[in-house]
Amino acid sequence: MLTVLGKDYISRIDNLNNEVWIDGKKIDGKISQHPAFKGVLKSKAALYDLSNANKETFTFTSHITNSEVNFAFKQPKTKKDLERRFVATKEWAQSNLGLLGRSPDYVNTGIMALGVANSIFHEDKKNYDKNIFNIYKMAMENDLSFTHTFINPQVNRSIGYYEDSDKIIAAKVIRETSDGIIVKGARLLATQGGITDEVLVLPSGGNFIEDAYVYAFSIPSNTPGLKFICRESFVNGESNFDYPLGSKFEEMDSIVVFDEVLVPWERVFLYKNLEIACNMFSETKFNTMLLFQAITRMIVKTEFILGLAETIVHSINIIEYQHVKDKLSEVISTLEIMKSLHLSSRFHSTLDHFNTMVPDYKPLNVAIYYYPRIYPRLIEIIQLLGGSGMILLPTEEQFQSPISSYLENYLQATNVNATDRVKLFRLAWDLCMSSFGTRQTQFERFFFGDPVRMGMGLYNSYPKESYVKLINDFLN
């Protein structure tokens, strides 16, 4: 039986009592009651309930745990498995319009990739391969949720910079004991840090000259010394009318501080091995599988944007203008490009030596090159189509006040009454212009890494030889 219902998930996170700091205060008591986290925890809980309501789509029987577990943990072995994963991921994302960038299936998919390919972590006289396999098994058995962190603090990004001051900034191993490694310092960011069961800490490039920076592990979010320092909350209120998206899907981002955290050896799956650190993401197909999830979510988000844009143009009756249709065509093209790239990755999938049916990385890599660049344009299109409607947005309270009749008259649109029109435009504003929406744009730009360096990665990894040969053959 699948272990976790939404309410179980919430009480589990409450009971962890993770050390989460917001607005200069440590959260005491239930984090699920805190205004900054209430909405997102409910939305995450809804995902667990969705799985329990439709087990055929969202669960499978694992031969490792001999139980029913969440779809994200399933090793795809056939093309049909990939199709099923696509459908399940898509339906989960639809429940939040693709706005939960780190729904539990995101990192859980990565845990699956690491767990299945555990042998690449093998080292003589160490248990690193077993450790990551056990983390995978435990995550499956308990339907755990993870945040992950892989970037060092943004102190100095110049080419030659290497942190060597006595005051530690980027998290590093400062001691080894018979129980484990002691980690001190910080990692730049973890979305949902503090509201997941575990934190997956992955090797971060940049400081690799020293062994102390070469490590990977997963630990419970309530491990002593582990602190999550949050940015300010973008939940501006609980009203569904006023803040339709932020009230439900504000994920929060936090700095992760390791204040001499003891990471038990059985939680470490990489240490001091630079070669594994450099190759693990490609060899385990970690990035490919994460992108499979992420591009699916982006498709759902683009469907939402298209639906929103189409509803707006009909509400104020601007569809007859050519430029309006042209702008909608840009959104349609984005959607079809993203869908085609994902389809291509499934169509060209191949079995690897771990017996995993791996989607083709090339189209997924193109999609993650393309979307961070096009997403801000999609947001701009909604802003251009909405005009002042994106700004003149009285609150729910105003509609219930003595001046509501003015609002009903002056804010009506051709095809909707004033209340529904403002409700629609507030949705658009929350996606494009509120603090929640602006963070969404920054998230899509950066969530898989710096787009500039990802572009370099695409060029470097793309097989170009056959096209060069074409030119040589022609010239000769």
Ligand X SMILES: Cc1cc2nc3c(=O)[nH]c(=O)nc-3n(C[C@H](O)[C@H](O)[C@H](O)COP(=O)(O)OP(=O)(O)OC[C@H]3O[C@@H](n4cnc5c(N)ncnc54)[C@H](O)[C@@H]3O)c2cc1C
Contact residues: ligand X, CB under 6 A? 102, 147-151, 154, 157, 188-191, 253, 439, 442-443, 446-447, 449-450, 452-453
Closest to ligand X by CB, 102 or 297: 102
CA distance 412 to 406: 10
Closest to ligand X by CB, 3 or 145: 145
Q: Taking the CA of residue 82 as centre, how many other CA atoms within 13 Å lie in the half-sphere pointing to its CB?
A: 23
Smallest gap, in angstroms, from Cβ of residue 152 to ligand X? 8
Tokens at 219, concatenated:
């630990």
Is residue 201 within 8 Å of residue 187, measured between CB atoms?
yes
Outline where 260-392 has alpha helix (H): 274-283, 286-315, 322-347, 361-386
Closest to ligand X by CB, 154 or 472: 154
Smallest gap, in angstroms, from Cβ of residue 410 to ligand X? 37
Smallest gap, in angstroms, from Cβ of residue 374 to ligand X? 17
CB-based contacts of 283-287 (< 8 A; 24+ apart in sequence): 283/117, 283/120, 284/113, 284/114, 284/116, 284/117, 284/120, 285/113, 285/117, 285/352, 285/356, 285/358, 286/110, 286/113, 286/114, 287/361
Closest to ligand X by CB, 189 or 305: 189
Closest to ligand X by CB, 21 or 241: 21
Smallest gap, in angstroms, from Cβ of residue 444 to ligand X? 9
Q: Is the dihedral of CA 19, 21, 26, 27 positive or negative?
A: negative
Smallest gap, in angstroms, from Cβ of residue 150 to ligand X? 4
Bridge pairing between strands 25-26 and 215-220 = unpaired
CA distance 429 to 440: 12
Smallest gap, in angstroms, from Cβ of residue 440 to ligand X? 8
Closest to ligand X by CB, 74 or 439: 439
